[in-house]
A and B are shown apart, each in its own frame.
Chain A
Amino acid sequence: MNQHHTPPPTPPDAPRDLLGAYAIGATDADEAARVREYLHNTPEAQADLGDAAMTAALMMAAVPRRDPPPALRDKLLQAARATSASQPTQRTQPVRPPAPTLQALPKVVSPPVQPPTARARTPWVAWVAGAAAAVLLFMNVYWMSEVNSLRARQADLERQSAEQVASLQAQSDAQLAQIEQIKQAEMNEAMTLMVSGAKAELMDDDGEMRAMVMWEPGQAEGVMFTHSLPSLDDTRTYQLWLIDEQGNPISAGTFTVDNDGRATLMFSAADALDAFAGLGISVEPMGGSPTPTTTPLALAQL
């Protein structure tokens, strides 16, 4: 080989031939730019890139094993806790404290989707799951919007009611009751209009509605909104329970309320919510309980 001979510049590689190198990060900046352009213009090449990436990922399986420091686990959990406390809006759902029990948890998580395999993927399963999630998200956003609107309307009604009460102090209790009935009727009407699907109102011992749960018939996902629940100290949390036909409570998650006693909780059950006999909310130690440890403060029969 002639050491002094400068080889002629080689023509640039075809982007197709660089897909593997791109997948493992070996491409130089100009090569990467050409590959990205190729991928943009040739969507079917994404499959080849995915194949190359999966092949390259095999290398991670052969990495020599090494034990992490024992303290790392606790550090991670502390950091996760801090993240939850400082950045709750990063989640797709409100951050909740630790779920209650290992026994109850599998019953309340989303039904497992069909796991993919490296060779035979089932995109339609993921699509269906994605579509379902999108529908649920849409419903949630819709409900949130409607509830916010309703809350604003309720505030107006309460303000109007207060004004009316002030002006009607001299009038009879019957007239006041009539106003309250109208207000409640409007509230109920709005709620009914708001939700085309199923709903359940969780009432306290005084017959006051403390929470509403809404879901689409036949679906295992629901959303709960609370109203005027007292704030709790840091050692306690609210817990929503699904009550099965045998009367067994199954945790649907824990939640805390804001200063106005409001909370929104999306939850999933192992079965369609229509199959359950009732719903309940109880106050539990922070982190939740396997079964209710206090008398439910609000209940609903389905």
Chain B
Amino acid sequence: MSDAPQSVEIVLLSRIRDGDETALAEFYDRFGRLVYSVTYHVLQNDTLAEEVTQDTFLKIWTRAHQWDATRGKITTWLLTIARYTAIDRLRTEQRRDGKGQVDLEEVVNVLGETASIDDPFWADEQLVRDILNDLPTDQRQVLELAYFRDMSHTEMAQALGLPLGTVKGRVRAGLAKLRNLWLQRTEING
């Protein structure tokens, strides 16, 4: 992502911090689709994703001052808030429904989805998607389950019918490979 959009984002966040509703609308126009995509990816439900997306932007509205430039880009911060808000909701919904496990078939289907590349605010989207596609499926699966479905090592081992050590190994190897692929590709492209 170039510095220019980040500067725009900083200005928008500054205006939001000042209570500028117009800036919140612009911020939503810029990131609403991305946030909704993440919340839907976690919750797999349109109604819940809509509510959580609204909650996410309301958190930005009331906590814009909490963004710390030293801890990452605004996009990462925003999406991390979106992810945690969605996971909190997922936990609540699972308790309400008495559902302790995610639908693995659903997750596998999600992994196979493709999407158009039309978000100019995450310039490396295609690069990241290529990298994830290069991850072995079993490694990507456990990363998805942990990251988007809030499943622990033990929960994944039970759900997948795998030894705990195997799951841990896949998580560790998947993250290491993801990092290495990212470094390699960005060096090549950079």
Contact = CB atoms under 8 A, between A and B. Distances in A.
A105 B172 contact: no
A43 interface: no
Contacts of A21: 146, 153, 168, 171-172, 175
Interface stretch (A50-58, A140-148, A175-183): A50-58
Contacts, number: 224
A80 interface: yes
Interface residues of A, number: 74
Interface string B136-173: 00000011101110111110100000011100100110
Contact of B175 (A20, A27, A29): A20
B64 to A, nearest CB: 9
A68 B52 CA distance: 11
Contact of A59 (B53, B69, B143): B143
A64 B114 contact: yes
Interface in B24-81: 24-25, 28-29, 32-38, 40-41, 46, 49-50, 53-54, 57-58, 61-62, 65, 68-73, 76, 79-80
A96 interface: yes
Interface residues of B, number: 85
A73 interface: yes
A109 B11 contact: yes
11 contacts: A59-B148, A61-B129, A62-B132, A65-B37, A66-B33, A68-B49, A69-B50, A75-B54, A76-B54, A76-B57, A94-B19
Interface of B: 3, 6-7, 10-11, 14-15, 17-25, 28-29, 32-38, 40-41, 46, 49-50, 53-54, 57-58, 61-62, 65, 68-73, 76, 79-80, 83, 87, 110, 113-116, 118-119, 122, 124-125, 128-129, 131-132, 142-144, 146-148, 150-154, 156, 163-165, 168, 171-172, 175-176, 178-179, 182
